[in-house]
Amino acid sequence: MQVVFVTGVAGFIGSRVAEMLLEQGNRVIGIDNLNDYYDSRLKLWRLDALEQYFRFTFFQADIEDFASLRAIFRDYRPTAVINEAARISVCSSRENPSAYFATNAGGTLNLLELCRQCGTAKFVLASTSLLCAEQKVPGEGEQQQPANTSLSTYAASKKVAEALAHAYHHLYSLDVSVLRYFTVYGPAGRPDMEVLRFVRGIGSGIPLQICGDPAAGRDFVYIEDAAGGTVAALQPVGYEIINLGSNSPHRLSELIRLIELYTGRSAVMHNCLEPGVGMQGSRARAGIRKARATLGWRPAVSLEEGVRKTVDWYLNNWDWLKNLKF
């Protein structure tokens, strides 16, 4: 049994990672600041599912608060840390860059330093496919990129976090897996992202607002696969940057067609919006050779199956989701 410290544990990926660890018999110490970036009722729903496990302990805390983190580390002595806590909006990062660096870079530094002080041997960092944006073959390489290639303040803050993790690996032999997630979707997903937003829109007859060209691709990866890759990344790797995606992009128009199929309703289309500055990398194809070779991981859930499961979850939880703020 490992004692795993999971930050952002009420978030979309963090909650499923924690649940998977608990199902495997591990002890999970979870923290989340439960901020209001999106409707907190969704976070509380995820958290309620985790609190059914007796090996789960939750603290409402922020990774920017070093003193609170230190107290938890000293009490529980985690064997590994999975850092899923982050500020996540590209658009908001342009409006408030200092907050993004305080959380994504400063918060990561706090966790790395506590790993050093408390002898925690493993660190898993949630990063972003946006750092793959300027590669000649998008998503194919997982090597480090200079910070000046970042196209958004958000991506730059994540690149600093990656660099800090590399420094702690080099200086203190901390074992680090950096995971660059592509478009993760599924039940209880983030309401600001396309899949759940489109399910709600098509199911309720609300016009869809599409960012960019509907013919453009996304590399979608189902939450179960993304969480499985994250848990697999707890194994020793040294220091590796690893993509978690499907390596099989699908057009937004195909996503919409599948949601129409499983809801039995037709989409009401809205005028397309230009993609925001810094969002180009979200269309990349994920090269997953390293995930296969290093982690023994490959995605198992097709877009068709994943969308069907997401629609089923939405319909089964309609009684409270209908009041959720999107």
| Whether 125 and 203 share a structural domain | no
For the segment 240-274, what is each residue's pLDDT rounded down to a tens digit? 999 999 988 899 999 999 999 999 999 997 766 55
Do 137 and 110 sit in the same domain of this protein? yes
Q: Report if residue 13 sits inside a domain.
A: yes
pLDDT in tens, 288-307: 999 999 999 999 999 999 99
Q: Does 270 fall in a domain?
A: yes
Mean pLDDT of 163-183: 97
Let me know whether 83 and 150 are in one domain.
yes
117/238 Cα distance (integer angstroms):
19
- Point out the residues that are catalytic: 154
Q: Give residue 138's pLDDT.
A: 47
Boundaries of domain holding 266:
184-218+248-283+301-321
Answer yes or no: is 296 within a domain. Answer: no
| 49 domain residue, yes or no | yes
Residues 89, 197 within the same domain = no
Chain-wide mean pLDDT for the chain?
Answer: 89
Domains of the chain: total? 2
* Whole-structure pTM value: 0.92
Closest CA to 135 of 281, 292, 291: 281
Q: Does any domain span residue 279?
A: yes
- CATH number reported for the structural domain that contains residue 191 in this entry: 3.90.25.10
Task: Give the containing element (helix H, strand E) for 100.
Answer: helix 97-100
pLDDT of residue 275: 55
Asked if residue 116 and residue 257 are part of one domain, the reply reads no
Same domain? 229 vs 240: yes
Q: What is the pLDDT of residue 100?
A: 86
pLDDT value at 318 more than 60: yes
* Per-residue pLDDT reduced to its tens digit, 109-140: 999 999 999 999 999 999 998 887 444 444 44
Whether 150 and 32 map to the same domain: the answer is yes
Task: State mean pLDDT over 186-209.
Answer: 91
CATH number at residue 23: 3.40.50.720
Same domain, 214 and 227: no
Residue whose tokens read 């997903």: 189
Q: Is residue 290 part of a domain?
A: no
Q: Is the pLDDT of residue 93 over 70?
A: no
Residue 283 in this model has a pLDDT that exceeds 50: no
Residues with Cβ within 8 Å of 65's Cβ and at least 6 positions away in sequence, in order, are: 110
| 145 vs 191, higher pLDDT | 191
Are the C-beta atoms of residues 102 and 61 closer than 8 Å to each other? no
Q: Name the 3-class secondary structure at 3.
A: strand
| Position 94 pLDDT exceeds 90 | no
**4-8, 198-202, 251-255: which is most confident:** 4-8
Q: 323: pLDDT confidence band, cut at 50, 70 and 90?
A: confident
Asked if residues 64 and 107 have their Cβ atoms less than 8 Å apart, the reply is yes
The pLDDT value recorded for residue 175 is 98
70 and 152 fall within a common domain: yes
Kindly list the distances between the CA atom of residue 107 and the CA atoms of 37, 58, 63, 87, 114, in Å, as whole numbers in the listed order.
17, 18, 5, 11, 11
pLDDT at 278 over 80: no
Residue pair 204/265 in contact (Cβ under 8 Å)? The answer is: no
Q: What is the CA radius of gyration of the chain?
A: 19
- How many residues make up the chain in this entry? 326
Q: Domain check: are 57 and 30 in the same one?
A: yes
Do 138 and 255 fall within a single domain? no
In a domain, 292, yes or no: no
Q: Do the Cβ atoms of 162 and 144 come closer than 8 Å?
A: yes
Q: What is the pLDDT of residue 134?
A: 43
Closest CA to 101 of 28, 157, 33: 157
In a domain, 254, yes or no: yes
Residues 48 and 27 in one domain: yes
Q: Give dist(CA 305, CA 294) in Å, integer.
A: 26
Lowest-pLDDT range, 23-27, 92-96, 148-152, 205-209?
A: 148-152
Task: Take residue 215 and report the two structure tokens written for it.
Answer: 């013919």
